[in-house]
Amino acid sequence: MTHQEYKEYQRAAEYGLMPDELNPVFLYSMINRDILMDIISGKLDAVQMARIEMMNRGLDEKTGRWIGWTSNDNRNVFGQ
């Protein structure tokens, strides 16, 4: 995200033009400081965690469409 994009999302929040749950400015607002530090340091991969969450919801990571749950989904997420 560019600085300009971030400012636009802040403006959308300020004027109520976008629901908070859809605004990436608030993506990490409820996350504990230690988890944020783990993401910054590379100990925790936020992209992999998003993939796991998509899998847990039964959603395809490329399209966001419902695909249901299969027994081998977690192997794909963990690179197995």
* Domain assignments of the chain as residue spans, ordered by start: 45-80
- pLDDT (0 to 100) of residue 73: 53
| pLDDT value of position 39 | 97
- Going residue by residue through the chain, which has 80 residues, state the pLDDT in tens, using 9 for 90 and above: 999 999 999 999 999 999 999 999 999 999 999 999 999 999 999 999 999 999 999 999 999 999 998 765 565 666 65
Contact 38, 46 (CB under 8 A): no
Q: What pLDDT, on a 0 to 100 scale, did the predictor assign at position 69?
A: 84
> Global pTM?
0.74
